[in-house]
Amino acid sequence: MSFSRRFFLKGMGGATLALPLLPSLLTPSEAAAATAGAPKCFAGFLTHHGGLWASNMFPAASTLTDSLTAGGHTVKRGALAASVANGVATVTPVLKASSTKLTPALLAKMNVLRGLDIPFLIAHHYGMASLGNLAATNDAHPINAFPRRSIDQVMAWSPGFYGASPPPVRSVVCWQNSNLSYNYANPQAQTGSIQSVTGSPDSLALFNKLFPSGSGSGGTTAPRAPIVDLVLESYKRLRNGTARLSKDDGQRLDEHMQRVSEIQKRLTTTTPPPTCSTITKPSSSNTPLQSPFSAYQLDTAKQVQYFQMINDVLVLAFHCGSTRVAAIAGDAYLNTFAAYSRDLWHEDVAHGVGTQAKQDIMIDAQRRFFAEVVLDLAAKLDAATDGNGTTVLDRTLITWSQEHGQLPHDAFSIPVVTLGSAGGFLKTGNYCDYRDTTKMFDAAVGKAPGLPWNQFMGTCLQAMGIPHAEWAETDHGGYGKRWAQTNSYDPFTGDQCWPQAVWNAAGDVLPFLAA
């Protein structure tokens, strides 16, 4: 659907502020279109390393009550459940949070997936391959000759995703050290080499990019007025002078204006950043939290706050349509999410998770990112209502994955958590185990092949409504180059782990998830 003026407030200096969906102002045809196809959003989170023991990351096998055949082997599912004690809701030692945040309602919108493999010896990739560009390896590998766009960019540049009127900012990429987003050199024409997408985790710069409020003139520098002030008269006319505006939509409009005001105040602190026709860097954002870095790397509260400030901007952007795609990397070389030196993290903790002491540190770090960053975004999106009893989270797909599976440098069973149903496309409230346990590599850690990462990537694209024809491979139905490989000393070859039956099903939505 095209956007009319009823979706924006216009104010002084050309300032515009996008509005949330206000159903009472829609024409019958617009209302029907909005109901049939609410704009979907995607946020992909990644954290470095992994090595979490299965019992710490995944629910118990006894919860897997249903089974079916997929990819030539038996896969299983069960219902997600949490125990609550002392104000903490616990699914597993990693998947736990305050019971006021991890509520039964939010748990019902979550999936936990086991048995999704990058099916070759990728070792370290620092998250660069997590969104589908499997050629983005840290070490040289033959697959480097077959790069692909990351799925966030496939979504953002799909002709049908935004329609005829895409926003100026098609996608947001927040990374600090290792990129996870890739696109053509010319995204519009889809030509040129595959290159990393420039990104920035600066929350204030992101806000200013997504919500520009005009600029000064003549090369002078003047403080920028808050955008809510610039569009205040337009807001008053809509709020008080539109008979069609329903009571619920009036409340929704008030909440939206308050949310914009609070976020801008939080980002600018006490000194508004200057803006004019000259290039001026923002004066305040989340980046000062990292100074001095010697203190930041040991301060988990500041690390959490750093990413929550990004979340606040994303909630507003997803709510009003300023962008609908985001990729966010929790870089362990800058934010360990544990009170531990980043310089020692890789060798001491990431490679030491075989000991209980280091496993406990990794549990704490990954739990903090889940509870305070991933779940924080989900809860805030779930609190933003779209009308008709739905929330922004309901039309969103959030994914969180780690770099490795249950062993360092290993890509079997990379843990995946999803939140949101992508507008009802996906079933939620599931714990799914896609492993073929008849081909066990290591019973102690439950290492066995499952379904390829390509199928998970394809499921995400289908959930966002991206036609298969836009990303099809010639030899399988999933997303990205097909490559199957194990070590020469392993008990099964790559083709035995991921046989043709697996690739024949790679174009299907992941088992148990299709609504």
Q: Give me the DSSP letters along 238-272.
A: HHHH-TT--HHHHHHHHHHHHHHHHHHHHHHTTSP
Give the integer Cα–Cα distance in Å for 63 and 65. 6
- Is 314 in a helix, a strand, or coil? helix
Residue in 43, 289, 319 with CA at minimum distance from that of residue 172:
43
How does residue 196 score in pLDDT terms, banded at 50, 70 and 90?
Answer: very high
Mean pLDDT of 360-383: 97
Residue in 510, 204, 154, 201 with CA at minimum distance from that of residue 373:
201
Run of H or E residues at 232: helix 232-241
427-444 confidence digits (pLDDT tens): 999 999 999 999 999 999
Q: Which residue has the tokens 């980043």?
A: 342
- Among 164-173, 259-268, 377-386, 480-489, the minimum mean pLDDT is found in 259-268
Q: How many CB atoms lie within 10 A of CB 69?
A: 11
pLDDT score, position 272: 36
pLDDT score, position 497: 98
Give the integer Cα–Cα distance in Å for 38 and 269. 34
Give the integer Cα–Cα distance in Å for 349 and 355. 9
Per-residue pLDDT for 65 more than 50? yes
Strand-strand pairing, 390-391 and 191-196: unpaired
Mean pLDDT of 268-287: 45
Mean pLDDT of 140-160: 96
| Cis bond before residue 212 (omega within 30° of 0) | no
pLDDT score, position 61: 97
Contact 129, 118 (CB under 8 A): yes
How far is CA 163 from its chain centroid?
22
Contact 65, 56 (CB under 8 A): no
339-356 confidence digits (pLDDT tens): 898 889 888 998 999 999
pLDDT score, position 455: 99
Give the integer Cα–Cα distance in Å for 149 and 481. 11
Give the integer Cα–Cα distance in Å for 413 and 447. 7
Give the integer Cα–Cα distance in Å for 458 and 357. 37
Give the integer Cα–Cα distance in Å for 266 and 283. 13
Provide the β-strand partners of residue 391. Answer: 385
How is residue 164 written in tokens? 């005829």
- Among 11-25, 37-51, 215-229, the minimum mean pLDDT is found in 215-229
Give the integer Cα–Cα distance in Å for 387 and 251. 11
Mean pLDDT of 33-51: 82
Residues present in the chain in total: 515
- All structural domains of the chain, each given as residue ranges with its CATH number in brackets, are 1-37+202-285 (no CATH), 42-198+292-504 (3.40.720)
Per-residue pLDDT for 124 more than 60? yes
Query: CA torsion, points 332, 337, 343, 349, in degrees to nearest 10?
Result: -90
Mean pLDDT of 281-291: 76
Mean pLDDT of 260-282: 43
Question: Which carries the bigger pLDDT value, residue 512 or residue 127?
Answer: 512
For the chain, the first-to-last Cα distance in angstroms comes to 25
For residue 336, give every residue at least 6 positions away whose Cβ sits within 8 Å of its Cβ, in sequence order, or none. Answer: 297, 303, 342, 345, 349, 365
Mean pLDDT of 491-510: 98
pTM score of the predicted model: 0.82
Average pLDDT, the chain: 86
pLDDT score, position 413: 97
How does residue 414 score in pLDDT terms, banded at 50, 70 and 90?
Answer: very high
pLDDT score, position 78: 99
pLDDT score, position 19: 64
Fill in the DSSP letter of residue 373. I
217-270 confidence digits (pLDDT tens): 222 233 345 666 776 777 777 777 777 777 767 776 776 666 666 656 555 543
Question: Which carries the bigger pLDDT value, residue 268 or residue 466?
Answer: 466
Per-residue pLDDT for 388 more than 80? no
Alpha helices in 37-84 (DSSP H): 54-57
